[in-house]
C-alpha cells in the first residue's frame, strides 16, 4: 500500500526511480500506430483515448494560458475536469496572463490545477538580476521553463499540448502523437490539424473568454520580455523572441515526420 505521508515530489521521485529498469514509456512504433489509428480523428476522440481509455498511461495537460489555451482546457474539462493541468509560472508572465489563468480555471471548472515555479537557488545563482532573457534567451528558458517542467513531469507517462500545425513553419508536420525528446514520454497534440477558423468557431460556440492581449495584436503569448506584437500577414509566432534565432522555448522541439515502420507495424491495432 502506498505511504499516504509521501509528498507529491517524493511520489514523483519514487516513480522515476522505479522506471530505471523498465522499458521506454513510448517507442517510435507506438507513435506510428497511434497516429495511424487516429488519422483524421477529432480532438475530442484523441482526448477520450488518452483520458478515458488511458491509452497513454499517467497524463497531464501543460498549458501556458496563452492566446488559444481556453480551447484545449475546455475540451479536457468536458471529458475529465480532474485531469492534472500544469502551469509554469516563470516570473516573467504578463499580468494579463496571470489574471486570465485565474478566470479560465474558474470558468471552465478545472479541479486539479498545479502551478510550477523555477528553482529559487538556480535563479539566485544563474539569473540573480532577472535579465538573462536579454542576452541568453535559451538559458533563461532552460532555467525558468525546461528544468522546472521536467522535474514536475517525472511521474507522468505523457503530456497534452495545445500546439497546432498552422502556427508556424516549424510545426507544419505536427502529428497527433509524438515522442518528447529524450524522455520517451508521449506528447499528445489533439488540436494538431485544427485551423484558425475551427478554433474561432469553437470559442464562439462555447462562449469562452478571450485572452485580453489578443485584441491588442498578440496572437501568440509567452513571457512578457520575449513577446511582441505581430503585424498583419506575419506568422502568428513572429512576435516570439523577435530578433533572435529562436522559435521555441525548449519545451517543444522542431517537428519532423516519423519514418515508416519497416515491419508493417504502422497498421492499426484493433
Question: Which segments are annotated as binding site for [4Fe-4S] cluster?
Answer: 140-141, 223, 226
Residues with active-site annotation: 249
Name the CA dihedral angle for 192, 162, 67, 77, rounded to a multiple of 10 degrees: 120
Stretch (H or E) spanning 60: strand 59-62
Taking residue 179's Cβ as centre, other Cβ atoms within 10 Å add up to 18
What are the b/e assignments for 103-122, b being 16+ CB within 10 Å?
ebbebbebeebeebebeeee
Pick from 243, 210, 211: which is nearest to 227 by CA? Answer: 243
Pick from 74, 75, 73, 86: which is nearest to 112 by CA? Answer: 86
Alpha-carbon distances of 197 from 27, 69, 78, 193, 204, rounded to whole Å:
33, 15, 21, 11, 11
Q: What share of the chain is helix, strand, coil (3-state, %, to 5)?
A: 40, 10, 50
At 261, is the secondary structure helix, strand, or coil?
coil
At 160, is the secondary structure helix, strand, or coil?
strand
Binding residues, as ranges, are: 140-141, 223, 226
Amino acid at each position: 500500500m502506498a505511504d499516504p505521508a509521501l509528498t507529491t515530489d517524493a511520489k514523483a521521485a519514487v516513480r522515476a526511480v522505479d522506471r530505471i529498469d523498465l522499458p521506454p514509456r513510448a517507442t517510435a512504433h507506438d507513435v506510428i500506430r497511434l497516429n495511424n489509428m487516429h488519422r483524421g480523428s477529432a480532438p475530442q476522440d484523441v482526448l477520450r483515448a488518452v483520458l478515458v481509455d488511458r491509452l497513454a498511461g499517467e497524463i497531464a495537460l501543460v498549458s501556458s494560458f496563452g492566446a488559444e489555451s481556453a480551447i484545449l482546457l475546455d475540451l479536457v474539462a468536458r471529458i475529465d475536469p480532474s485531469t492534472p493541468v500544469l502551469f509554469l509560472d516563470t516570473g516573467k508572465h504578463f499580468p494579463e496572463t496571470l489574471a486570465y489563468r485565474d478566470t479560465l480555471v474558474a470558468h471552465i471548472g478545472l479541479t486539479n490545477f498545479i502551478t510550477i515555479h523555477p528553482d529559487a537557488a538556480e535563479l539566485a545563482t544563474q539569473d540573480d538580476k532577472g535579465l538573462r532573457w536579454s542576452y541568453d534567451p535559451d538559458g533563461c528558458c532552460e532555467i525558468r521553463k525546461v528544468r522546472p517542467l521536467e522535474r514536475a513531469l517525472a511521474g507522468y507517462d505523457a503530456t497534452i499540448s495545445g500546439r497546432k500545425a498552422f502556427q508556424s513553419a516549424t510545426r507544419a508536420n505536427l502529428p497527433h502523437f509524438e515522442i518528447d525528446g529524450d524522455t520517451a514520454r508521449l506528447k499528445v497534440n489533439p488540436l494538431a490539424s485544427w485551423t484558425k477558423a475551427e478554433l474561432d468557431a469553437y470559442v464562439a460556440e462555447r462562449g469562452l473568454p478571450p485572452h485580453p492581449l489578443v485584441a491588442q495584436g498578440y496572437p501568440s503569448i509567452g513571457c512578457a520580455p520575449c513577446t511582441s506584437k505581430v503585424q498583419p500577414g506575419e506568422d502568428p509566432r513572429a512576435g516570439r523572441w523577435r530578433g533572435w534565432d529562436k522559435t521555441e522555448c525548449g519545451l517543444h522541439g522542431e517537428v519532423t515526420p516519423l519514418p515508416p515502420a519497416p515491419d508493417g507495424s504502422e497498421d492499426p491495432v484493433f
